[in-house]
Structure 1
């Protein structure tokens, strides 16, 4: 991998530009599409950095993914120093799930939607997505991560969520995806 004087990185993934939030010591490589998708998120995170918040990240996932992909992403984000809300550990006994989700969204700097085949299957029946994520979408506070599926499949189920570019585990490992998110917070 070599670096040009303009901040471009040349390596196995072709030419990429290092975003201004990525530390010079970072080995994480971003595509131009990822930089365009993540720049508004970074700007929102920066604005919200001084506000009190319980969580850096609200992780939305299908219940079926709680022991697999969602747990892996959750753990990778926490390993990088982020405070992560997830239904598995942050929904109290006897607390209504929708109430807890509303509280989690309200007290997180960024929402992550982990889109998997299980989530695509549940979205039409859950009724949560449009209501809960439209505000985060409007404020550039949501990151879509597709895992074992595609943006096209998401578009068929939720055009609202698919309207944003994001990250994909088809292009990067879950650890690299977590590193890209952590860099938005300065980790």
Structure 2
């Protein structure tokens, strides 16, 4: 297995920098190797760099006060530059809470190199790193052997909803991760009234003995859930009303009972209590929404029980979580 980047960091910077940065890089389609490069007191930086670069094209090294306080010989820190083979840039330093003077005390060679900085935010930093990595010649694992997250991101960018439905059916772990529980069954093409639910994900509840279902409606990644004026689309209002009817209908003899509409005409989904049905609409991208639009969407979600609107970043995050 080859990787685009590994992230080397002090353990103190794992939660605040390393994990968010790894997630942001993975969400941009890169293959990221993270957990094996958490450096603790006594670890060898040179060994970590050598091991990571053996399997990765680039090494992102998070330089911080915690990183510099580790008890490594000065030659190991300067050795970051030496491991770059044949003049090819392989080490991408990232400053976190330090300045030039602080770094220069430990490694003048690193202090003079152009570096990213977390002070500008994780997302801009991840964009700069991914742009550099993908632009370098020689091929990249993100393109040659894309990860599950990378393939999902490509389908979202292409706005291919039929392929997205197929992909999620073939990779049920993405939905299980997004929904946060061990869902056992996935059925496609379920119809409620006149609405086709692309994917229904179910789990059997032992107490009481019934099924719990979540329906996932796939909208267009290019169609924002909230317009510039903070108004939620009519389609989403309609889906919210449908979810409310489902949850208020009588149990078992439910006239809105789910029916599988696949070609083999399998029977209805198993009996469930209406309160055990939820509907999720996936549409648009998070980065296209402003602060007021996000606030309007959060308010809309809070007003409805059994119905939620998510952007496609919800699925991308689930597919690309490196932890």
Q: TM-score, normalised by structure 1?
A: 0.58
CA distance in 2, matches of 1:135, 1:99: 10
Secondary structure of the equivalent of 2:15?
coil
Secondary structure of the equivalent of 2:60?
strand
What residue is the counterpart of 1:81 in the other structure? 29
Give the deviation of 1:161 after TM superposition. Answer: 1.8
Q: Do structure 1's residue 61 and structure 2's residue 9 form an aligned pair?
A: yes
What residue is the counterpart of 1:122 in the other structure? 70
Residue number among 75, 80, 89 corresponding to 1:140 in the alignment? 89
Matches within 5 A, 1:33-72: 54-72=2-20
Secondary structure of the equivalent of 1:181?
helix
Secondary structure of the equivalent of 1:164?
coil
Cα pair 1:123 1:157 within 8 Å, conserved: no
Q: Do structure 1's residue 165 and structure 2's residue 114 form an aligned pair?
A: yes
- Relative to structure 1, the CA distance from residue 135 to residue 68 in structure 2 (aligned partners, 3 Å threshold; closer, same or farther) is same
What residue is the counterpart of 1:26 in the other structure? none
Cα pair 1:56 1:84 within 8 Å, conserved: yes
What residue is the counterpart of 1:152 in the other structure? 101
Q: Do structure 1's residue 180 and structure 2's residue 158 form an aligned pair?
A: no
Unaligned stretches of 5+ residues in structure 1: 1-52
Cα pair 1:145 1:168 within 8 Å, conserved: yes
CA distance in 2, matches of 1:61, 1:123: 14
Aligned length: 129
Cα pair 2:22 2:32 within 8 Å, conserved: yes
Unaligned stretches of 5+ residues in structure 2: 136-141, 143-323
Q: TM-score, normalised by structure 2?
A: 0.35
> Which whole-Å deviations, capped at 9, do the CAs of 1:94-141 have from their partners, x for residues lacking one?
xx9775653221221111111111112116459743335422284322
Secondary structure of the equivalent of 1:176?
helix
What residue is the counterpart of 2:79 in the other structure? 131
Give the deviation of 1:160 after TM superposition. Answer: 2.4
What residue is the counterpart of 2:53 in the other structure? 105
